[in-house]
Each structure stands twice: as C-alpha cells, then as structure tokens.
Amino acid sequence: MWRISPVNESTDGKWLILFHQIPVKPAYFRVKIWRRLQSLGAVAIKNSVYIIVRNEETFEDLQWILREIVHGGGEASICTANFVAGLADEQIEAMFQAARDADYAQIAEEAKTTVESAPSRSVAITNEDIAVLEANLTRLKKRFSSVSAIDFFGAPGRQAAETLLEALEGRLKETQKKSENAHSKLKRSDLSDLKGRTWVTRKGVFVDRIACAWLIRRFIDVHAKFKFAAGKGYRPRSGELRFDMFEGEFTHEGDFCSFEVLVKDFFPADQALKEMAKVIHDLDFKDSKFNRAETDGIGAIMEGLASTCKTDEARLERGAALFEDVYEYFRRK
C-alpha cells in the first residue's frame, strides 16, 4: 500500500509513480515506452506501474513520457508517493540496486571479454586491433556513464565494472605503446632489415603506389617482391609490409602521401627524392601544395601509362622507367 498525491511543488513524497494504459497496437509503441522508462532508471512494481526517485529531473522526464503516451492514444498519470504498508523503502531501493547491478554486470562481462580477446603481448599489433579496443572502450565507458547517472542507491556491482573498464583502458594504452614502439623501431632500423620482404599494396596502382614501388626496388631492395590486395581489412602474412593502404606500415601520415613518408623516414638527405616527393604529393592529393612546373607533364604521362597498362605488374615496370628518368632529372638539376 502507498499513499499518493498529485504532483505539485508543496507535495511531500520520496517517490514518483507513473501509471499508464497503452493501446495493444501498435506493438512497438509499448516496447518504446518500456525502453524510455528503463533509460530513466525507473523500475516496475506492478504491470504498467513504474516508480522512480523523486527530483526535478525525473519529474520532468516522466512528464515527457506521459505526453508521449497520451499522444500515442494511451492514458497516464504521475503521482508522488510514500509507502506506509507493504513495500518498504529499503525493499524498493534493493530493486533499484538489482536493476543497476544487472547493467553493471553486462558492462563488466563485455569489458572482460574485450580484454581477453585483445592481441597477446607476443603477437604483432595492427591498427585494426587498436581501433577495435578503442571503439569498445568508448562504447562501454559511455554505457557506464549512462548507468551511473541512474544508479540512485549505489549498486554494489559498480566497482567491478569500473575495475574492468580500467583494465581495458590499460590494455589499450599498452597495445598503443607496443604498436608505436614497433613502428618506431621499424623506421629507425637499418635498411637491411627491410630486404627480402614482400611489399603489399592495393590493386589498381597509380601515381603514389607506383612511385613507392620504384623507390623500394631502387633504394631499399632490388629484389623486392610486390603483391596486390583488395585493400581494407587485409591482414599481412609473415615477411610482408604494406604500403599506401589502410593500416599499412608505410602509408599516408597527415599531409604526407606514402612516397613522402618513405623519403622522410629513410632518405631525408636526398634532395632529388625530396623534389620528386613534391610532384607525387600534388598528383596524389590534387591540392597544388607545391605547384612545381613538372607536375602537369608527369601527371599526363601517368594517365597515359594507366590507360595502356592494364595490369599492376605492367604499370610498375613502365612506371619504374619513368621515375628513374625523373629522379635523374632532379638529381642533375
């Protein structure tokens, strides 16, 4: 039993209660209202009777739901209440805690699963691995924040969820650091460490990728092998390095095209390569950043090359001859 009163500023009562009658059809409308009440933290004490802690915010939220019910053809009322028999306040608080504990348990389980499925410390880390961890952490932290906002009585499950989220955040930072260290080590390594590799890039090679392939075989490994893949989602095999493709070890970095990245990392003192990189940048980004006089001519030749060479292998072969001449031009100049 409870004592109820219409809601006004002077009315006493620890709780707000929403009574509603919702039409049977459409069925989705009842589910929609149920989800809205769940998101506010309300709990059901009987069919179509929901209770929530009384404050200005929860009262306003229930008013919006009441209007939504009435607009959908139903009926609803909001009252303040104090329980004088039957349910005790402690029992109601336990109901709220149980509801939030279930939410926290779900968050904790997902966080635990994400940590356990993260790459082990002994395997190579990809950008996709990091992206998955970041996305899951962001989603779970957002969910945790939402649950915390309606945890009116400090459910005990909060601590476990918080601890596992911290563990997930720690694993993400550890994974990011490992990836950064591996990438940094690769870039600081002697060029001999890059020999004997298979270099993977996207199919349909054009300016940037053709120029990168020429640079790799010309300055890094004369016997380098090339492989052409679909692109996004490709997972490298042992001995493979990806360039100018999603998550590649050598690919665009900010305002640098892939050719610029290779030159910057390995040949920063070669002025001819740096001048070539300006041409490749403008052709790849189409932004006229450097606006060199040679760019349009080289671009026209590349268009002709792409139209006559139908395979990636043929484009690399013809492109290598072109870029060898371009390099010699800039070297002598």
Q: Dump pLDDT digits (tens) for 178-190.
A: 766 665 555 555 6
Distance CA 296, CA 127 (A): 35
pLDDT of residue 185: 53
pLDDT of residue 274: 96
CA–CA–CA angle 249, 298, 266 (5° rounding): 30
pLDDT of residue 128: 73
Question: Mean of the pLDDT values across residues 144-151?
Answer: 96
Query: 2-87 in CATH: which number?
Result: 3.30.70.240
pLDDT of residue 233: 73
pLDDT in tens, 117-130: 887 655 556 667 78
Closest CA to 259 of 277, 239, 285: 277
Position 272 pLDDT exceeds 80: yes
Q: Could you tell me the pLDDT band of residue 2, with boundaries at 50, 70 and 90?
A: very low
Distance CA 273, CA 136 (A): 42
Domains of the chain: which residue ranges? 2-87, 91-187, 191-332
Mean of the per-residue pLDDT values of the chain: 89
Position 4 pLDDT exceeds 60: no
- Locate all alpha helices (DSSP H) within 150-270, ordered by sequence: 158-188, 207-215, 258-266
Question: Mean of the pLDDT values across residues 241-267?
Answer: 90
How many angstroms separate the Cα of 77 from the Cα of each of 21, 48, 67, 70, 165?
Answer: 9, 11, 10, 10, 39
CA 284 to chain centroid: 26
How many angstroms separate the Cα of 250 from the Cα of each of 22, 188, 233, 257, 264?
Answer: 59, 13, 16, 10, 11
pLDDT of residue 68: 96
Position 31 pLDDT exceeds 50: yes
CA 12 to chain centroid: 47
Q: Tell me if 285 sits within 8 A of 260, measured CB to CB.
A: no
pLDDT of residue 193: 79
